[in-house]
Structure 1
């Protein structure tokens, strides 16, 4: 029965929503402290926004004028709260985020002794776990001057296998029980693109770098579908709570794809997912028969990119450098594949119409990827398909302009700089740092940076990323003035790289990334104005509401 009486409803975020029980075609938000961005990178403020029953933005502007024009619209009064377009994380790992929530984390361990205590306590708390899994350890913080070893886990737990990934995901730490189950012996060779750390006698110490991790991980118990659903549910809950309305998943398997499609159809994918297929074999060969999936279930899911790897990570010295590591002159890190093999993989994916996104950390890894992507021409080129380098972390200064010349997008993670600043100069020296984490250098030449976090390696909270991009400091505002502050972004640039430029990097700038007419009404409501609060407070921003396509999916 149609009723016209308006009533006030107080929601959990403490905001008042004026609702009408009748169904209106349009919804009008008023008294908003709204910000969006246009195609010229101009910041636009508004205090009112209209979206329709299709979940698309109709208009933003002046509340007094829009109240008159849309007098019959359902009214939402935000009482001056800040509104932004939904934020986009251009590089994360969705299922891994959900899985990590239930595993052992050593991120808070300040030293090896604390890590050992955490392992023992976790094992005691979960006696039913066949394996003790997790990680997020960082030997640089522990000031060991070396990697930890199997004996140091054995000292607190030796009756069950333990496998703990380093914080960057590019090295693993095993105990003796895990190595025994994996069949690791003194004679086990290093695989291509990987390294088994060994003692003076050639015995495995318990540390496996990059592709060598597969030697242990091949014997891990497989996750069943129930566990994968639980992981996806946990990840979605976390992502929407921090204001991420879209993420780019850097490594989608066949099993992941199945659940993403199912959740999208059932409207359970409360954060949109732009998928990158893991590699160009197996699942890629199967799914590529029908070509890239540009849009699925009203743009909730897409699968139109491929994720490849050139090298490892800086912290584990797996990143491939052109000259030896400054603190380990016996090694230059590892290229995962030869130049010809990389070119073959890039050609295969691009020839089938897929965007090619390649992980590259070291200057040698980045050079390999630049050469491969720059060799693509015509409809397969980065100009058309918008190929990306994921991380683009340490480059020769002479190679940075080549990304702009070849239209390659640098996909970068601001929190990596503030996490790595305690060891980066040790690894590569002062001179090579000039081309490292070089956001300002990229922006100055006109490159669009797509920002992300690489969650769960870093927190998915995009306000931590915006803070790192602007301050180049940790949460204690150290170092004073910022670490290589000459490479910092402005607030507008950081906002843009988590919105419109991240959307551009997924070929989605016409549907996402800003609150413009015809785009999806994906937006968030915040407890403070990130453009006005002191920089040191940006990371403390709390999301009060998250909306996807005009539907509220989260309230604090």
Structure 2
């Protein structure tokens, strides 16, 4: 059935059109866009503003769903608040599971002894906000058979104090030692329900497509939860292990070069303030290059997580060396996060068509860690303005569950960079930010029909009662904007 959307203004994925328009939808596609309002009586929707529904270019939808099922520790600063949140925590197969604590926000140092007092006999496993650290108690250590003599996997760290005693903190690949014995939320009877809630939340934020980062064993559940929702799946596994499979049914792969700022695991060119720690190298340069060469022409997207300036520089140099071959073989090269970088690295990324998959929303949660651990080097973080000026394409995402998939808070963050006085003034315009969520995101995630409002494009559109461009002109905050309707491939989901 044909639908007609009448709006006062719209963003078409590349520019702002401040004129009344009719967007005509026929089936799953846009059949025409007219800069006027007719008197036609065809089924119509009226709104003040329209935009292509946003594409979250980096989201862990399974992880986000699992976070709905566990204790939320976001915002915890004291032991008393920690105890309050954990007091009535539901058990999953005899374990207490949670997520969201941020070490730079705590007024105490996380240690297994704190959790032992709350849960002396029950295994307790708490993921950090960034997801790159795990805080566990003695019961969990015992269940996982982890001792002071346990050797961590390559790219992992089992933290010990100055006496050699375990602290209960595991970082990066060492987390797998607990994951293999802890209950799998993916197999829980409530997981499918949580995933349906997660997809509903995405639509409420105006999201109409996603680029999912997922572990291989979660992919089937993700597809079953919402088989019609436009998505691309980047599997977190080495290509050399999975490309030999008879049925390689993923859009791309995502590997980790380093850790995160939140666990002091981001790989830096100089040590963190007051320490000898440079961060954690999760994969060597030679191994990463081998995996890239294995992937070219065989996957649509090759993405590498890089947060520290040394990690970003290393990945960009690698991508630059192989960019010509990647373009010939039609493999998209993406740096996930691109969080800390020199201007030389940024310009190199621009010259070689390397995409930066960025999450400006994370600047709010990172600010304390940036001040404490990087000092003045924090000014090398979130350099969106410099990236755009160098010709780097930006693709916006939230990295949920690290942050909620809140699109307008993410956009507001891009407009705010530098206002807190810690980061440099690297703010960008609303139009540039919205490109990052639409046309540029479509390019980065291989969605050729999405991210635009034009004839022939997918009818994947979000409608609003407020015009965000007028909001900005009036000095209003964008964080509270929510769509009144979301259409995905012609089907109204909200």
Q: Bin the TM-score by the shorter chain.
A: over 0.9
The question of whether the paired residues in 2 share the 8 Å contact of 1:106 and 1:115 is answered with yes
Q: Quickly say closer, same or farther: Cα 1:398–1:378, change in 2 above 3 A.
A: closer
Q: Quickly say closer, same or farther: Cα 1:518–1:264, change in 2 above 3 A.
A: farther
Mapped to 2, the partners of 1:348 and 1:504 lie a distance apart of 22
Q: Pairwise CA RMSD of aligned residues?
A: 2.2
Q: CA deviation at 1:406?
A: 1.6
The question of whether the paired residues in 2 share the 8 Å contact of 1:471 and 1:485 is answered with no
Residue 177 (structure 2) aligns with: 215
The question of whether the paired residues in 2 share the 8 Å contact of 1:467 and 1:538 is answered with yes
- Which of 66, 77, 82 pairs up with 1:110? 77
Q: Is 1:51 the equivalent of 2:27?
A: no
Mapped to 1, the partners of 2:283 and 2:482 lie a distance apart of 43
In the comparison of the two structures, how many residue pairs are matched?
Answer: 491
The question of whether the paired residues in 1 share the 8 Å contact of 2:239 and 2:295 is answered with no
Mapped to 2, the partners of 1:284 and 1:434 lie a distance apart of 39
Mapped to 2, the partners of 1:366 and 1:410 lie a distance apart of 10
Residue 354 (structure 1) aligns with: 300
Q: Quickly say closer, same or farther: Cα 1:544–1:42, change in 2 above 3 A.
A: closer
Q: CA deviation at 1:139?
A: 2.0
| Alignment of structure 1 residues 286-305 onto 2, 5 Å | 289=246, 303-305=250-252
* SS of 1:376 mapped into structure 2: helix
Cα distance per residue 1:326-360 (max 9 Å; x no partner): 14x22111111211111111111124243210000
Q: CA deviation at 1:129?
A: 4.8
Q: CA deviation at 1:517?
A: 0.8
Residue 506 (structure 1) aligns with: 445
The question of whether the paired residues in 2 share the 8 Å contact of 1:120 and 1:157 is answered with no
Residue 491 (structure 2) aligns with: 551
- Which of 50, 55, 61 pairs up with 1:88? 55
Q: CA deviation at 1:128?
A: 6.6
Mapped to 2, the partners of 1:139 and 1:433 lie a distance apart of 17
Cα distance per residue 1:38-66 (max 9 Å; x no partner): 5xx332234333333322112223343x4
Mapped to 1, the partners of 2:214 and 2:467 lie a distance apart of 34
Q: Is 1:26 the equivalent of 2:14?
A: no
Q: Is 1:435 the equivalent of 2:399?
A: no
Higher Cα Rg, which structure:
1
The question of whether the paired residues in 2 share the 8 Å contact of 1:276 and 1:306 is answered with yes
| Alignment of structure 1 residues 2-401 onto 2, 5 Å | 25-30=1-6, 32-37=7-12, 41-64=14-37, 66-67=38-39, 71=40, 73-76=42-45, 78=46, 80-122=47-89, 126=90, 129-144=93-108, 147-222=109-184, 223-224=186-187, 226-253=189-216, 255-263=217-225, 265=227, 267=228, 269=229, 272-281=230-239, 284-285=242-243, 289=246, 303-327=250-274, 329-376=275-322, 378-381=324-327, 384-401=330-347
Residue 19 (structure 1) aligns with: none
* SS of 1:486 mapped into structure 2: coil
* SS of 2:412 mapped into structure 1: helix
Q: CA deviation at 1:468?
A: 0.6
Instruction: Calculate the TM-score normalised by the size of structure 2.
Output: 0.93
The question of whether the paired residues in 1 share the 8 Å contact of 2:253 and 2:303 is answered with yes
Residue 460 (structure 2) aligns with: 522
- Which has the higher relative contact order, 1 or 2, with Cα contacts under 8 A spaced 6 or more apart? 2
Q: Quickly say closer, same or farther: Cα 1:280–1:139, change in 2 above 3 A.
A: closer
The question of whether the paired residues in 2 share the 8 Å contact of 1:170 and 1:210 is answered with yes
The question of whether the paired residues in 1 share the 8 Å contact of 2:122 and 2:139 is answered with yes
Cα distance per residue 1:75-104 (max 9 Å; x no partner): 33x2x5322210111111011111111210
Mapped to 2, the partners of 1:281 and 1:109 lie a distance apart of 38
Residue 300 (structure 1) aligns with: none
Q: Quickly say closer, same or farther: Cα 1:334–1:200, change in 2 above 3 A.
A: same
Q: Structure 1 stretches of 5 or more lacking a match?
A: 1-24, 294-302
Q: Quickly say closer, same or farther: Cα 1:248–1:387, change in 2 above 3 A.
A: same
* SS of 1:398 mapped into structure 2: helix
The question of whether the paired residues in 1 share the 8 Å contact of 2:371 and 2:422 is answered with no
Q: Quickly say closer, same or farther: Cα 1:549–1:46, change in 2 above 3 A.
A: farther
Mapped to 2, the partners of 1:280 and 1:472 lie a distance apart of 34
Residue 489 (structure 1) aligns with: 428
Q: Quickly say closer, same or farther: Cα 1:42–1:50, change in 2 above 3 A.
A: closer
**Larger CA deviation: 541-550 vs 240-249:** 541-550
Q: Quickly say closer, same or farther: Cα 1:136–1:382, change in 2 above 3 A.
A: farther
Q: Quickly say closer, same or farther: Cα 1:382–1:37, change in 2 above 3 A.
A: farther
Cα distance per residue 1:495-538 (max 9 Å; x no partner): 11111111111122x31112111111111122422111245520
The question of whether the paired residues in 2 share the 8 Å contact of 1:95 and 1:231 is answered with no
Q: CA deviation at 1:247?
A: 1.2
Q: Quickly say closer, same or farther: Cα 1:366–1:127, change in 2 above 3 A.
A: closer
Q: Quickly say closer, same or farther: Cα 1:102–1:72, change in 2 above 3 A.
A: same
Mapped to 1, the partners of 2:240 and 2:139 lie a distance apart of 32
* SS of 1:197 mapped into structure 2: strand
Instruction: Calculate the TM-score normalised by the size of structure 1.
Output: 0.83
Residue 411 (structure 2) aligns with: 466
Mapped to 2, the partners of 1:111 and 1:526 lie a distance apart of 40
